[in-house]
Amino acid sequence: MFKNVFGSGFLVRTVHVILTWVITLILFLHDTDLRKQEETGELTLPVLFVLLVLMSVLLYFAVSLMDPGFVLSDDCDLQFTLGITEETQDMIPQATKSFRLRRCGHCLVQQPMRSKHCQTCQHCVRRYDHHCPWIENCVGERNHRWFVLYLAVQLVVLLWGLYMALSGFRHGPTWQLWLRSNGVLLGAAAVVAVLSLTVLLLLGSHLYLVSLNTTTWEFMSRHRISYLKNCGTDENPFDRGTLRNLWGFFCVWEPVVWEHVYFKQGNETV
């Protein structure tokens, strides 16, 4: 289920973790509200902040090391994708029985609908969203909701850290003296501000796409995807309404047979 922590992306993960704890240390070493509360013995908020930072790091490793939903073999994946078992054979729509899976030209496995081959990971990924260089892993069917949760927690940590950084600036009689006493904290605040804006945009875009039940890949490359290019501009065969889309994404953990959803909407075989 999880990849080797020392494999591909080890350098990126190491830099991420070091940067996270270095900025956290800076916030505690300077005269911020965190340090003031720590010195007065009010440890509730400092401990909560550290636990939240730790949670963000653990979620980061979870999404970066988790199997995003790799398509491994034809036999088991064909059975999974089309639901071909003795118990469900009669329940499969006729259109789905005649559905021809596309064979990947790179790893030669049969691709379930909404899957795509990732050139970086060298695997086909179910419900492929995108390959994220930040986590050095694909975002797909198995780790997408964890990725969104990670972004939400990381955003809270960054905004809280930015607020604490701003609370630690000291007054200085001149700009030179002000920069000398606040330079490190100013650098940390600038990094946190840039990361906050980045994570905010990422989280907003993913929540928007999730509410439509579409992926980043489908949104950006609609004209090149066989099962979407013949649909109307505003037509999404997987859209079941905003509330049902959000519920299915966050609360339904069973794998979805997207061929069933696609043909239930009355689409032609692709």
Q: What is the pLDDT of residue 23?
A: 96
Check pLDDT > 70 for residue 95: no
Tally the residues of the chain. 270
Per-residue pLDDT, 227:
86
Q: What are the C-alpha distances in Å from 177 to residues 172, 174, 254?
A: 6, 5, 59
Provide the pLDDT confidence category of residue 8 given band limits of 50, 70 and 90: low
Question: How many other CB atoms are there within 10 angstroms of residue 16's CB atom?
Answer: 19
Lookup result for tokens 């994220």 = 132
Q: Quick one: pLDDT band at residue 84, thresholds 50, 70, 90?
A: very low
Give pLDDT, residue 1. Answer: 53
User: How high is the pLDDT of residue 176?
Assistant: 85
| Chain centre to alpha carbon of residue 186 | 29
pLDDT band at 264 (very low <50, low <70, confident <90, very high): confident
Chain segment 196-237, per-residue pLDDT in tens: 999 999 999 999 999 999 999 999 988 888 888 878 777 888
Question: Residue 88: what pLDDT?
Answer: 36
pTM of the model: 0.85
Is residue 255's pLDDT more than 90? no
Degrees to nearest 5, angle at CA 84 with 78 and 90? 150
Structure tokens at 19: 């940067």
| CA-CA-CA-CA torsion sign (252, 257, 262, 263) | negative
Task: Name the nearest CA neighbour of 128 among 137, 67, 138, 119.
Answer: 138
- Within 10 angstroms of residue 23's Cβ, the number of other Cβ atoms is 21
Chain position carrying tokens 């906050």: 196
- pLDDT for position 175: 84
Average pLDDT of the chain to the nearest whole number: 85
Q: Which residues are known catalytic residues?
A: 132
**Residue 265 pLDDT greater than 80, yes or no:** no
pLDDT at 21: 96
Residue-wise pLDDT for 121-169, tens only, equals: 889 999 999 999 999 999 999 999 999 999 999 999 999 999 999 999 8
User: What per-residue confidence (pLDDT) applies to 7?
Assistant: 58
pLDDT at 232: 75
- Contact assessment for residue 123 and residue 107, using Cβ atoms and an 8 Å cutoff: yes
CB 129 within 8 A of CB 139: yes
DSSP per-residue string spanning the chain? -B--TTSTTHHHHHHHHHHHHHHHHHHHHSSSHHHHHHHTT--HHHHHHHHHHHHHHHHHHHHHHB---EE--HHHHHHHHHT-STTTGGGS-HHHHTPPPEEPTTT-PEEPTT-EEETTTTEEETT--EEETTTTEEE-TTTHHHHHHHHHHHHHHHHHHHHHHHTTPPP-SSHHHHHHHHHHHHHHHHHHHHHHHHHHHHHHHHHHHHHHT--HHHHHSGGG-TTTTTS-TT--TT---HHHHHHHHHH--SPP-HHHHHHHTTPPP-
